[in-house]
Structure 1
Amino acid sequence: MDQFEKVSQCSALHPKPAGLVLQYGTSGFRTNAKELDHIMFRMGLLAALRSMKTESTIGVMVTASHNPEEDNGVKLIDPMGEMVTPEWEEHATRLANAEQEALVMALNDIIKMEAINLSQDVTVFIGKDTRPSSKALSQAVLDGVSSLGGHGYDYGLLTTPQLHFMVCCKNTQYRYGTATEEGYYKKLSQAFIQLTKHAPNRTDDQKHLLVDGANGIGALKMREMEPFLQKELQVSLHNDGSHGKLNFLCGADYVKVQQKPPEGIALNAGERCCSFDGDADRIVYYFIDSAGQFHLLDGDKIATLISTYLKQLLTQAGLDLQVAVVQTAYGNGSSTRYLEETMKVTVRCVKTGVKHLHRAAQEFDIGVYFEANGHGTVLFSKGAEERIQQLTVDPNTNDEKKSAAVLLENTINLINQTVGDAISDMLLIEAVLAIQGLTVQQWDAIYTDLPNRQLKVKVADRCVIDTTDAERRAVSPTGLQDAIDMLVKKYQKSRAFVRPSGTEDVVRVYAEADTQESADALAHEVSIAVYKLAGGVGEEPKQFH
C-alpha cells in the first residue's frame, strides 16, 4: 500500500463535515471540540511534512487556552520552539478546508510547493491540556503522523510552554535544556533559587504567593514543580482543577476583563496574587488595597518591571546592550510614556498578535514583549548572551560587574525564550521583586494606568475596516479616522483606535483618557461612529454602564 492510500484510509476515520471552513489564526485552530476531529488528523499530517521539511522535531499542542471547556484547538510548534511560519499557517488552512475527496491532492500540492523528501524521518512531540476532549483529539493527531510513516510521541498533559521548551531542547541537542518535564522544572527552579540568593532576609510573607490555576493544566504542573523550588517560593494554589470548570469565573482572561479577583480566592489586603490562563502561557498579577480597591498588574506592568530590572543590571555590568519593549496598540499610554521618558527604553509598537511581538523582539539585543493580557517573554540575542557569559568567566571583570553578569545569566536561564510562559514569568517576577526589595504595591505605583475601555461593535462585514500604523489608524471606511480624531480632541490624555476582529464580524474599539468617565464616553462615541460608518448591525451601541 502506498503512503497516500494509507492517508486516505485513515482520513476516512476522521471525516470532514462538508462545507465547514476554519482559519489557522494566531492561536492556531480553535472552535467547539466537536468540529475538530478532522482538523487534528490533518494537523498530524502537516506536522509530519514540517518535520520532513526542516529535518527536525515538530510540536503539536492540543489546547484552547482561555476558551471555555467545551472548546478545543491545536497549534504547531516550529523547531526552535517558536510558532509555525506564516507560509505554513496558509498550508494549515488549505489542508484543513480541503473537502474529503480532495485531501490527498491538497497534501500533494504542499509536498510539491515545499519540495519535501518523503523518505525523511519524522518526529512529532504532542502535548494536551486538561479538557475532556483533548485525549481523543490528540489521538487523531497521532493517527495523522503515523499515516505518513512518522513517529509521534504523546507526552500527555503539558502546559503549552512546556511543549515549546521540549521541542527547542530536542532540536538544540539539549543545549537549551533537557527535553523532559523534569528538565523543565530543574532548569527553572535552579535559576530561581540562584537568583533569590541575592535577596537576603526574605521573610515567609515575601515568599508566599496566591496562585489561581484557572482549573487547568497550570495548576497540575505547579503542584509537580513545588518540590523543586525547595520552599524558596511557597505557593497557595486555588482553582486547582479538583472541582470547578476550566476558565469558568477564574483565570487570567476573566481577571483582566472583569477587573476583579477570580471566584474561589479570598484575598486579604495587600496579598500578592496571580492568575494563569487555561494552558498556562499567560499571567496577570493583582491585589486588593486596604480600602478594598482592586489593582491589576497586567502585561504592561510586567514588561515595565522586567525591562527596568534588566536595564539596571546591564548598567551595573557595564554592558552597552539595547533593551527594547515591544507593545501593541493596547499598551497603556502611561506605560509607554514611563518607558520612553523616564527609563529611556526603546518602545516599538506592532500589530496585535503574539507572533508579531515575538518577531519584533528578535530585532534587538534584548527584546521584552508582553501583550496587555499577560502573554509574553524576553528574548536575548545570541550576541547578548555571549557578552554576558564572557563577563562571568573573564578574570579581569571586577566584582560588581561579575555579580551583575551572574544575575543576568541566571535570569536568562529562568526565562522561557520560546514563548510566553506563566510559570516561568511568575518565577521571574517573584525573583525581581525579591532582588529589588519591592512590594506589589510599590511595583504597582511605578506609574498609574490611564483609565481605558474596550468595546465591540457588530458589523455586517469586518473587512470594511482596514488599518495602518500598527493598527492605530483606520484607512477605511472613508471618514472614520477623521471622526475618531475629532472625538479624541474632546478629552484629556486621550487616544482611541478601532480594529477588525480576527475571527468574527465585529470591530474592536479601544479608548483611554484621564478619567474612567471620559474613557467610557469616548469609547461609546467611537462605537457610534463605527456603527454608522462601517455598516453596524442590530441596535445602535448603548452607553456603557
Structure 2
Amino acid sequence: MGRTYFGTDGIRGTANRHPMTAELAMKVGMAAGIAFQRGSYRHRVVIGKDTRRSSYMIENAMVAGFTAAGMDVFLLGPMPTPAVAMLTRSLRADIGVMISASHNPFEDNGIKLFGPDGYKLSDEIELKIERLLDDDLTQRLPTGDRLGRAKRVDGVHDRYIEFAKRTLPRDMSFEGLRVAIDCANGAAYRVAPEVLWELGAEIVKLGVSPDGININKGCGSTDPAALIEKVREVRADIGIALDGDADRVLIVDETGAVVDGDQLMAVIAESWAEDGRLAAGGIVATIMSNLGLERFLEGKQLALARTKVGDRYVVEHMREHGYNVGGEQSGHIVLSDYGTTGDGLVSALQILAVVKRKGGTVSQVCRRFEPVPQILKNVRFAGGEPLERELVKHAIAAGRERLGNHGRVVIRPSGTEPLIRVMAEGDDRGLVSSVVDDIVGALRQAAA
C-alpha cells in the first residue's frame, strides 16, 4: 500500500494548503491518539514546534485532535526536534510531535511523529495512521471525563540544555574559543547559544530573532553566507549553522570555508575510533555521501554502510546493525549514544571537543579528506514517470558505463517536492559534469 500523506520525514507541505491544513492536523492528532492508545491509563503526548507563524495554527489543531482522542497534551513551545525526541522519553509520553518543515522556507510546515522510545515512526505505524485518517473516527472518540487536557510545560529548555552539556566530559570547557552561531531564526534560538555560553565559549549570535516569517531566510545551514561573513568579521574560531528545527548542522572554519556533514562524520568517526567508542567498525551514511568519505574511512580500516536518502533509513540501519554514528552530507548527524535522531547542537559540541583536545584550528581538524568532484542537479516535472522513459534509462546506463569504477551516478525522486535529483561524482570533474548534463537533458526532454 502506498503512502498518501507521509513522506520521507513526516507530513510536509505549504501551510494552509492540502495536506498541511488545520483540518488534517486535527485529524492526525485524532488518528495518532487512537493508534497509540495502549491501556486504561491517562495517555500523554508532547508537542514541540519551530518558530513559523503557521506552527501556532497546526499546534492548536493538533491539540484539539489529541484531546478529542483522550490524550493529555504537554506543550513545549519552540524546541529543537532532538529535544522533542528526548523529552518524549523523559516525560514518559506515548507519542511525541514536532511541528516543523525543518530547512524549508517559512511558507511550508510539517508534522514529525515520534514513538514512546523517541524514534521516528516505522512505515507500518505510519500506514496504520494513514488508514485511520481515511476513516470516520467520530464513533471511536471518547466522551465525558475521558477527554484529554492540555497544558504548557515549564523548564523544558533547561532540561535540554543540561542534556546537551552532559554529552561532553564533565571537565570539558570551551573557554578561549570564539564561536559564531547561527540558529536560523528557528527552534534553537534560545537553547543553543545558552549551551555554548555555559560551556565557557565567547558567543557571537546570529539568527536569534524569530518573527514568524524569517526562519531559514538568509541564514542557517541552508544559507550560511551571513555566518561566513560574521566569522571573518569577528575573527571567530568557528561558525556553527543550524537549520530551522536544529537537527542539522554545518560548520564554518576560521577562514570562512564551509565544512559539510561528510567531513564532520569523518572527524567524529576518527576521534571515536581512536577512543575505542566507535561501534560496529564504521559509520552509516546515505547514497549521497561523497566517495572521498568512503575512501578516507577505508584508509582508517573503517567501513561505510550506505542507505537510501533520509535520516530514518540511516537510523534504521544503525539500530539493526549496531552502529552509533550515522548521518547525511547535509549535516543531519545521528549519534545514538546520545539521541534517537539528528541533533545539530550535540554534533557541533562533539566537533568542538575534538578541536579543543587536538589544539589545532578548525580548518586543520575538520578537513579530513579531499572530496571527490560531485555535481547535483534537480529536474522539476509536472507529472508522469519520466524515469520510466527509455531515453532516460539509456542516458543513466550510459553515464554509469562512462564513469566505470571511478565514480557513481545516483538518481532519486525527491520525497517532498516534484523533483528528480541527479547526482554524479568521480575523479574527473569534466566527465562527471558531462554525465550529469546528459542525464538532465534526457529527463527534461521526457518531462516536457
TM-score by length of 2: 0.77
Q: Is 1:494 the counterpart of 2:407 in the alignment? A: yes
Distance, in Å, in 2 between the alignment partners of 1:335 and 1:224 is 32
Corresponding residue for residue 327 of structure 1: 285
Q: CA contact under 8 A between 1:324 and 1:361: conserved in structure 2?
A: no
> How many matched pairs?
385
What is the one-letter code of the residue matched to 1:221?
V
Distance, in Å, in 2 between the alignment partners of 1:502 and 1:242 is 28
Distance, in Å, in 1 between the alignment partners of 2:390 and 2:377 is 20
What is the one-letter code of the residue matched to 1:247?
N
Q: Matched residue of 1:377: which SS?
A: strand
| Structure 1 position 218, deviation (Å) | 1.3
Q: Superposed, which structure 2 residues align to 1:427-442 within 5 Å?
A: 427-442=349-364
Q: Is 1:123 the counterpart of 2:36 in the alignment? A: no
Corresponding residue for residue 399 of structure 2: 484
What is the one-letter code of the residue matched to 1:522?
V
Q: CA contact under 8 A between 1:509 and 1:523: conserved in structure 2?
A: yes
Q: Is 1:303 the counterpart of 2:274 in the alignment? A: no
Q: Matched residue of 1:237: which SS?
A: strand
5+ residue gaps, structure 1, are 1-20, 56-118, 380-411, 467-473, 538-545
Distance, in Å, in 1 between the alignment partners of 2:285 and 2:315 is 10
What is the one-letter code of the residue matched to 2:411?
V
Q: CA contact under 8 A between 1:239 and 1:264: conserved in structure 2?
A: no
Q: CA contact under 8 A between 2:180 and 2:227: conserved in structure 1?
A: no
Q: Superposed, which structure 2 residues align to 1:37-56 within 5 Å?
A: 37-53=22-38
Distance, in Å, in 2 between the alignment partners of 1:481 and 1:223 is 46
Q: CA contact under 8 A between 1:270 and 1:441: conserved in structure 2?
A: no
Cα separation, partners in 2 of 1:135 and 1:494, compared to 1, 3 Å? same
Distance, in Å, in 2 between the alignment partners of 1:536 and 1:352 is 23
Distance, in Å, in 2 between the alignment partners of 1:343 and 1:518 is 29
Q: CA contact under 8 A between 1:249 and 1:263: conserved in structure 2?
A: no
Q: Is 1:234 the counterpart of 2:168 in the alignment? A: no
Q: Is 1:451 the counterpart of 2:373 in the alignment? A: yes
Distance, in Å, in 2 between the alignment partners of 1:445 and 1:129 is 32
| Structure 1 position 22, deviation (Å) | 5.9
What is the one-letter code of the residue matched to 2:366?
D
Cα separation, partners in 2 of 1:146 and 1:455, compared to 1, 3 Å? same
Pairing partner for 2:192 from 199, 211, 222:
222
Q: Is 1:189 the counterpart of 2:148 in the alignment? A: no
User: Which deviates the most, 40-49 or 501-510?
Assistant: 501-510
* Structural RMSD (CA): 3.2
| Aligned-pair identity (%) | 22
Corresponding residue for residue 274 of structure 1: 240
| Structure 1 position 241, deviation (Å) | 1.6
What is the one-letter code of the residue matched to 2:320?
E
Cα separation, partners in 2 of 1:351 and 1:195, compared to 1, 3 Å? farther
Q: Matched residue of 2:284: which SS?
A: strand
Q: Is 1:372 the counterpart of 2:283 in the alignment? A: no
What is the one-letter code of the residue matched to 1:323?
G
Pairing partner for 1:423 from 336, 345, 364:
345
Corresponding residue for residue 540 of structure 1: none
5+ residue gaps, structure 2, are 95-115, 119-153
TM-score by length of 1: 0.64
Corresponding residue for residue 319 of structure 2: 362
| Structure 1 position 121, deviation (Å) | 3.1
Q: Is 1:253 the counterpart of 2:215 in the alignment? A: no
Q: Is 1:161 the counterpart of 2:82 in the alignment? A: yes
Q: Matched residue of 1:508: which SS?
A: strand
What is the one-letter code of the residue matched to 1:45?
M
Q: Matched residue of 2:340: which SS?
A: coil
Q: CA contact under 8 A between 2:76 and 2:156: conserved in structure 1?
A: no
Q: CA contact under 8 A between 1:238 and 1:264: conserved in structure 2?
A: no
